[in-house]
Structure 1
Amino acid sequence: MVFNEDFLHYVWKFKLFDFKDLTTTDGQKLDVISVGMHNLNAGPDFSNSRIRIGDTTWAGNTEIHLAASDWEKHKHTTDNAYDNVVLHVVYRNDQSIAAPDGRTLPTLELRDRIPADLYLRYHQLLLVNERRIIPCQATLKTVNAINLHSWLTRVLVERLDKRTSAVIDALKNNQGDWETTFYQFLAANFGFSVNALPFELLAKSLPQNILAKHKNNALQIEALIFGQAGFLNEEYLDEYPQRLKNEYSFLRKKYQLSPIEKHLWKFMRLRPQNFPTIRLAQFAALVIQSQHLFSKILEFKDVRDVKELFSNIDVNTYWETHYRFDQESKLLSKTFGKASVNLLLINTVALMLFAYGRHYKQEQYVDKSLLLLESLPFERNHVVDDFEEMGVKIKNAFESQALLELKNNYCNHKKCLQCGIGNHILNLK
């Protein structure tokens, strides 16, 4: 049977081997009091283990190998980090091993102590049918809804914790200003994946406090946003872009602004409704209608209140008949769609609430973040579609975001032994 050290780590960690009449390889009675803490960094595999050999209780580290000889192959004998190893756990004991201090290292051989059906489930889960979308595709239906939801809750929090690191880094760069940090993340997410970078650069090149000074003049807000985006360096025939250009020319000099390069914006393979010009117009409309947006988000009592902040955004009527400057099109409303609002709530609002709660250790904001995700419909993408085809019933964005994390950071890397779903499948009786 083929397996690796990760499998032995799993067997040791969850005590899935036969404990009856345990002895070391040299015949001494062995009791495992505590397997210790799994160490995922450099050094011995498990720390703070407690074992009893004969009448002596030992506290220290446990090292795990497929074969005892791997100890020397990995040069542990000359590594002081392994001085405090009190037990060597191996699948196959092919030689006697000396610890760095010269003593014979107590060894436990697991070869005849691991249940055969555990081998089989592991083999079926990880090592066969490489064309599966996820390793447990064939057995996922055996996991009950309670166990599935419990694990999805954990991986969702992992996802938000990782993304929180980027928020805190930005917060430091913004001297602790949450409104500015929110504004920058909101802008980046207005570009979705295709135009996230130029939107982020735009927000960083156009401080929010400048926009606030012109909150009562919609044309100037639009001029600042389109100008800083690099769209007002050309000559236009239509009156609207001409007026924007005139306003921006004055404001650019007043605030000594430098626009980003227009070529950064991508139009190719986008539906016209998603053209960056339309997204910029919608972003301008939100800025015009909203002041101190993050403060309002922190104060919301009902999720409907925060959704309302992003609803009914009135875009300049020019865009009802245009997708680009000077290029007239059929009459069509360019209001910010419900699906787009939901994506902003998922990727910006929920994240920022979570980060704020984590940063200040105020769990009510973490709870608000999770409650918001539970209230939003799940987004459509190929990962969600795949899980639906496997029979997973997805109810909201809370679950779809968790499934993205599960697929990208567990399933794709075959981390089944670190996954609650994989553990459940392997431990089925």
Structure 2
Amino acid sequence: MKEDFLHYIWLYKKLDFTNLKTTNGEVITIINFGQYIQQAGPDFFNAQVVIDNQKWAGNIEIHLKSSDWYVHHHEKDDNYNNVILHVVWENDTPIFRKDNSEIPVLELKKYVSKEELNKYHELTAQKSWIYCENQIEKVPSFVFSNWQERLFFERLERKSNPIQQLFQETENDWEAVLFCMLAKNFGLNTNGEMFFKVAKSITFPIIRKEALEVKYLEALLFGQADMISINAEDNYSKELKSWFDYIALKYKLEKPAIAPVQFFKHRPDNFPTIRLAQLAMLYHQQRNLFSKIIEAKTIQEIYKIFNISVSDYWKTHYNFDKPSSKKEKALSKSFIDLLITNTIIPIQFAFANSQGKDNSEFLINLLSNIPPEKNTIIEKFTTFGIKSTNAFQTQSLLQLKNEYCNHKKCLQCSIGLELLKN
């Protein structure tokens, strides 16, 4: 049993509270169960109880065992001086406040029905993938959809934290933030961190100045990524090396400490060479990119912004010094969808928050127009009857699995609570 089950019992009053008594035999009457605000300190604030005709107002702390009071060192914490009732599953030792006065104890196991216990054990019994896999399909659609929306914004909050930090590091330059985050996502999972470090190593005013010529942007990005071979024989590779040496000297650039780029298991269109070339072309063609993205009102406008290809050299190369058949290598719709999901929407969310604005409905609508993601988590949910029709739903399911199911937070999840209550 976990402590959050006891929180659930107390919060939803799933106990027989008509004849409550302390472990010392004193009659308890609950006037107010308190507020469950899930912050530091006692579990329920501002409760009111009557114990043997004496009315008490204060806080309530809940533990599996009363001895957990000492395990968590509450006797040394002033935040727990105002605890008026200690609610436990098992009372194994008397508990005293800092002033040595004994705290009344309510032992819950005497007042919770077998039915509630059975429902809890059924929900939390080990399954093949997630605890509720045999029941999740039965959750009412309105409960599920409301929970998905909350999950989506929890995920956005998490994604916006590094964006806010980067905003401070770049001296409040949103264009610089966007450049770094786009670079990370152009690098995908294998090269994302390396591309991010490269982008951070170049102050954005340098990008603005060198964007007039795509070849200079390519020299800057490939050079900082240490991807221009000193042994390359073709003229363009040699020119890039020369241009980079000049730019690095001009701006006194220092190369970041990075691992070599990874080509392994990538399709040629996802090679880091092609992705960096596309990023260079994007910033060559789209000046004031951040403003354009913030002002975009439809997904079609965003698709138009990212309708870019590569320079002539990369149309006939996947690697330096190795010609290939000609191909435009424009950004695919699926890749742009990935950028919208993982970069554009989190940036729009973070920017709106910084302005004190609410763009939640716009973001949901935007993501609802993107096809669902395809990965093992989404496929597994499908086998349990949870089918997604758009990226808003799949982003919510990823948050559900990674932040709730994986950590067995069934009683902090609307799905788990709904299954228990019914």
The TM-score with structure 1 as length reference comes to 0.91
Matches within 5 A, 1:335-354: 335-354=330-349
Matches within 5 A, 1:30-45: 30-38=28-36, 40=38, 43-45=41-43
Whether the 8 Å CA contact 1:230–1:261 is kept in 2: the answer is no
Number of the residue aligned with 2:266 = 270
Q: Please, which of 363, 377, 385 is the counterpart of residue 371 of structure 2?
A: 377
Moved more, 276-285 or 120-129: 120-129
Q: Please, which of 311, 317, 341 is the counterpart of residue 316 of structure 1?
A: 311
* Superposition CA RMSD, Å: 2.3
Q: Please, which of 124, 132, 136 is the counterpart of residue 136 of structure 1?
A: 132
Q: Please, which of 404, 409, 420 is the counterpart of residue 414 of structure 2?
A: 420
Cα distance, 1:190 vs. partner?
Answer: 0.8
Q: Please, which of 179, 184, 190 is the counterpart of residue 188 of structure 1?
A: 184
Cα distance, 1:236 vs. partner?
Answer: 2.1
The letter for the 2-side match of 1:397 is A
Whether the 8 Å CA contact 1:353–1:368 is kept in 2: the answer is no
Give yes or no for the alignment of 1:13 onto 2:11.
yes
Distance 1:154 1:210 in 2: 40
Distance 1:96 1:231 in 2: 67
Give yes or no for the alignment of 1:251 onto 2:247.
yes
Q: What's the CA shift string for 1:369-414, capped at 9, x where partnerless?
A: 3332222112211111111121112121111111111111110010
| Structure 1 residues 74 and 252: CA distance shift in structure 2, 3 A | closer
Matches within 5 A, 1:101-250: 101-129=99-127, 132-250=128-246
Cα distance, 1:137 vs. partner?
Answer: 0.8
| Structure 1 residues 230 and 40: CA distance shift in structure 2, 3 A | same
Whether the 8 Å CA contact 1:18–1:113 is kept in 2: the answer is yes
The letter for the 1-side match of 2:271 is F
Q: What's the CA shift string for 1:74-93, capped at 9, x where partnerless?
A: 55456544321111212234
Distance 1:319 1:30 in 2: 78
Please state whether the residue corresponding to 2:188 is helix, strand or coil.
Answer: coil
The letter for the 1-side match of 2:393 is E
The TM-score with structure 2 as length reference comes to 0.92
Number of the residue aligned with 1:303 = 299
Cα distance, 1:60 vs. partner?
Answer: 1.1
| Structure 1 residues 194 and 172: CA distance shift in structure 2, 3 A | same
- Unmatched tracts of structure 2, length 5 or more: none
Number of the residue aligned with 1:361 = 356
Number of the residue aligned with 1:89 = 87
The letter for the 2-side match of 1:12 is W
Distance 1:214 1:69 in 2: 66
Moved more, 413-422 or 36-45: 36-45
Whether the 8 Å CA contact 1:87–1:105 is kept in 2: the answer is yes
Please state whether the residue corresponding to 1:37 is helix, strand or coil.
Answer: coil
Please state whether the residue corresponding to 1:291 is helix, strand or coil.
Answer: coil
- Unmatched tracts of structure 1, length 5 or more: none
Whether the 8 Å CA contact 2:315–2:328 is kept in 1: the answer is yes
Q: What's the CA shift string for 1:143-180, capped at 9, x where partnerless?
A: 12211111111111111112212111111111111111
Distance 1:23 1:205 in 2: 65
Distance 2:75 2:279 in 1: 62
The letter for the 2-side match of 1:119 is L
Whether the 8 Å CA contact 1:36–1:50 is kept in 2: the answer is yes
Whether the 8 Å CA contact 2:228–2:320 is kept in 1: the answer is no
* Count of residue correspondences: 422
| Structure 1 residues 218 and 83: CA distance shift in structure 2, 3 A | closer
Distance 1:230 1:75 in 2: 53
Number of the residue aligned with 1:23 = 21
Whether the 8 Å CA contact 2:371–2:390 is kept in 1: the answer is yes
Distance 1:326 1:157 in 2: 46
Number of the residue aligned with 1:326 = 321
The letter for the 2-side match of 1:353 is Q
Cα distance, 1:94 vs. partner?
Answer: 4.9
Please state whether the residue corresponding to 1:62 is helix, strand or coil.
Answer: strand
Distance 1:41 1:301 in 2: 38
Please state whether the residue corresponding to 2:373 is helix, strand or coil.
Answer: coil
